[in-house]
Chain A
Amino acid sequence: MNDHTVRDDATSPPNQLLAALQADEWQRWAPYLEWVSLSAGQVLCESGDTPAFVYFPTSAVVSLMSSTRDGGSAELAVVGHDGMIGIAVFMGGNAMPSAAVVQATGVALRLSASTLKSLLQRSVPTLQVLLRYAQALMAQVAQTALCNRYHSIDQQLSRRLLLGFDRSADDALSMTHEDAARLLGVRREGITAAAQRLQQGGVIRYWRGRIRVLDRARLEQRACECYASVANEQSRLLAC
């Protein structure tokens, strides 16, 4: 594995699912993987579309978004170097009723959907890795449903920032108040007030659309339990 440039690219953190592939599997996959740059706002797959590619982000972060007919939006899950975009390709049915939108500019490895299907046909261990990831993603979506019901905007913003920081190579995120409002499906004014409270508490610093974490431990205290639940479930499922 050490001899391969795709996996050992020094400029980007590895993707954890690709890193979990067995050595011989990796040899089969590597020739088909292609580096792509993803920019914030780019739509990788519209709701209901059949994806042509699956993506394994390394430094990019992608949001799975759902929207209502009257324009309300809500982020269902965040996918970064911990996961992949396009689980419907191996789950079946091809399309998902959510859209995949790039939230943080960066790079990813992509693979055509048909190649993924044929690679998986011959490898049970690899499919098992991906199924465990799908299970973790399901837990994240379900936890978001619970969180949307019960928790305050302050708690939800803290949770979302932590999910973002975990998937970011540095300790700053590019996220405007509008971005955060769209992700959480709330009004921008609510985000502005919540961000001010976090900033006044010395937890984060918001500056020109970039958020820097000053005190991670306190950010975790301000978040609801949903952050830890999702992180624990994912590390349990993917620690193989």
Chain B
Amino acid sequence: MPAQSLSNPAADPRKNQLLAALPRAEWQRWQPQLEAVELPLGQVLYESGSTLGHVYFPTTAIVSLLYVMQNGESAEIAVVGREGIVGVALFMGGESTPSRAVVQSAGHGFRLKAQAVKQEFEASPAVMHLLLRYTQALITQMAQTAVCNRHHSLDQQLCRWLLLSLDRLSGSELQMTQKLIANMLGVRREGVTEAALKLQKAGLIQYSRGRILALDRPGLEQRSCECYAVVKKEYDRLLPTTAL
């Protein structure tokens, strides 16, 4: 698809797989309401407990859902990229959530006003079905994070996390500091440095100031705990697949 690959991902909402899966009538209603947004690294889309004004559909950006403790420490409970939507509380109910949504990898996305997504969710069975299946997949990702945090080594978790991120990017390079990874995984930075060095020595990644290049993806999959595959399988089962 030469024409497609030349197009600017920032301008094409259908790079988000949920938007791409909307039936024609729904897509025609949504299209004029979608607003293109730039999502720079570190931007907070919503804070824990705040009322959500929009839902976000990342196209090239990746967003982390973090749980934050009273002392400020946090841990990532799920990542959302072009396969998903940020702000499920708007259609699930409750208007706010205890999680914080932060851009973890800079890029673009589209947003839709809270009122619009609520109306569409109630008016269109196809939209409801699509968004609930996505939420179910998201719950699986959170559940797997809970088990992973209990049972797996930092090396395994780092591989899982890199793979989840790589799946949501078009290339094999992540713009990422070790401090950021440590915050996401809820571990000390020294631990991440050590784990990343091991992966580099094994020839799986190349790490240099603020960027990680994946060199051997099957190797990363082998080193990862099963959690990556469990989540991927469930996403594949529940979500629409679109030719990218």
A-to-B contact residues, CB < 8 Å? 64, 66-69, 72, 74, 76, 87-88, 90-93, 96-98, 124, 128, 131-132, 134-135, 137-139, 141-146, 148-150, 185-186, 225, 229, 233, 236-237
27 contacts between A and B (CB under 8 A): A68-B147, A68-B151, A68-B225, A68-B226, A69-B226, A74-B146, A76-B143, A91-B139, A93-B237, A131-B91, A131-B92, A132-B93, A135-B88, A135-B94, A141-B139, A141-B142, A141-B143, A142-B77, A142-B98, A144-B146, A145-B146, A146-B149, A146-B186, A148-B147, A185-B151, A186-B150, A229-B98
* Nearest chain A residue, comparing its CB with the CB of B125: A121
Given A72-B150, A145-B149, the answer on whether A91 and B226 have CB atoms closer than 8 Å is: no
B89 contacts A by Cβ under 8 Å: yes
B38 contacts A by Cβ under 8 Å: no
Given A135-B94, A139-B97, A149-B75, the answer on whether A92 and B146 have CB atoms closer than 8 Å is: no
- A68, A74, A138, A150 — which one has the most chain B CB atoms within 10 A of its CB? A138
Please name all residues of chain B whose beta carbon is closer than 8 Å to the beta carbon of A91 when the two chains form the complex: 132-133, 135-136, 139
Is the interface on chain B under 10, 10 to 19, 20 to 34, or 35 or more residues? 35 or more
Given A141-B143, A142-B98, the answer on whether A97 and B230 have CB atoms closer than 8 Å is: yes
Please name all residues of chain A whose beta carbon is closer than 8 Å to the beta carbon of B70 when the two chains form the complex: 225
Whether B140 and A135, one on each chain, are in contact in the complex, defined by CB atoms closer than 8 angstroms, is: no
Please name all residues of chain B whose beta carbon is closer than 8 Å to the beta carbon of A135 when the two chains form the complex: 88-89, 92-94, 97
A233 to B93, CA, bound (A): 12
- A76, A93, A132, A185 — which one has the most chain B CB atoms within 10 A of its CB? A93
Whether B92 and A142, one on each chain, are in contact in the complex, defined by CB atoms closer than 8 angstroms, is: no
A98 to B144, CA, bound (A): 9
Whether A92 and B93, one on each chain, are in contact in the complex, defined by CB atoms closer than 8 angstroms, is: no
B145 contacts A by Cβ under 8 Å: yes
* Nearest chain A residue, comparing its CB with the CB of B139: A138
Against A, the Cβ 8 Å flags (1 = close, 0 = not) of B205-244 are 0000000000000000000011000100010011000000
Given A74-B151, A135-B93, the answer on whether A90 and B132 have CB atoms closer than 8 Å is: yes
Interface residues of A: mostly helix, strand, loop or mixed?
Answer: helix
Whether B149 and A149, one on each chain, are in contact in the complex, defined by CB atoms closer than 8 angstroms, is: yes
Please name all residues of chain A whose beta carbon is closer than 8 Å to the beta carbon of B88 when the two chains form the complex: 135
Whether A237 and B93, one on each chain, are in contact in the complex, defined by CB atoms closer than 8 angstroms, is: yes
Please name all residues of chain B whose beta carbon is closer than 8 Å to the beta carbon of A148 when the two chains form the complex: 146-147, 149-150
Please name all residues of chain B whose beta carbon is closer than 8 Å to the beta carbon of A141 when the two chains form the complex: 139, 142-143, 146
Q: Specify which of A96, A124, A150 is in contact with B140 (CB 8 Å cutoff).
A: A96
Whether B237 and A185, one on each chain, are in contact in the complex, defined by CB atoms closer than 8 angstroms, is: no
Please name all residues of chain A whose beta carbon is closer than 8 Å to the beta carbon of B136 when the two chains form the complex: 87-88, 91-93, 96
- A67, A124, A142, A185 — which one has the most chain B CB atoms within 10 A of its CB? A142
Whether B147 and A185, one on each chain, are in contact in the complex, defined by CB atoms closer than 8 angstroms, is: yes
B129 contacts A by Cβ under 8 Å: yes
Please name all residues of chain B whose beta carbon is closer than 8 Å to the beta carbon of A69 when the two chains form the complex: 226
B105 contacts A by Cβ under 8 Å: no
* Nearest chain B residue, comparing its CB with the CB of A136: B94
B158 to chain A, nearest CB (A): 14
Whether A146 and B77, one on each chain, are in contact in the complex, defined by CB atoms closer than 8 angstroms, is: yes
A232 to chain B, nearest CB (A): 9
Q: Specify which of A87, A96, A150 is in contact with B75 (CB 8 Å cutoff).
A: A150
Please name all residues of chain A whose beta carbon is closer than 8 Å to the beta carbon of B92 when the two chains form the complex: 131-132, 134-135, 138
Whether A93 and B147, one on each chain, are in contact in the complex, defined by CB atoms closer than 8 angstroms, is: no
B190 contacts A by Cβ under 8 Å: no
A91 to chain B, nearest CB (A): 4
Please name all residues of chain B whose beta carbon is closer than 8 Å to the beta carbon of A92 when the two chains form the complex: 129, 132-133, 136, 238
Please name all residues of chain B whose beta carbon is closer than 8 Å to the beta carbon of A96 when the two chains form the complex: 136, 139-140
A78 to chain B, nearest CB (A): 13
A143 to B135, CA, bound (A): 17
Please name all residues of chain A whose beta carbon is closer than 8 Å to the beta carbon of B149 when the two chains form the complex: 145-146, 148-149
Chain B stretch 83-108: residues in CB contact (< 8 A) with chain A: 88-89, 91-94, 97-99
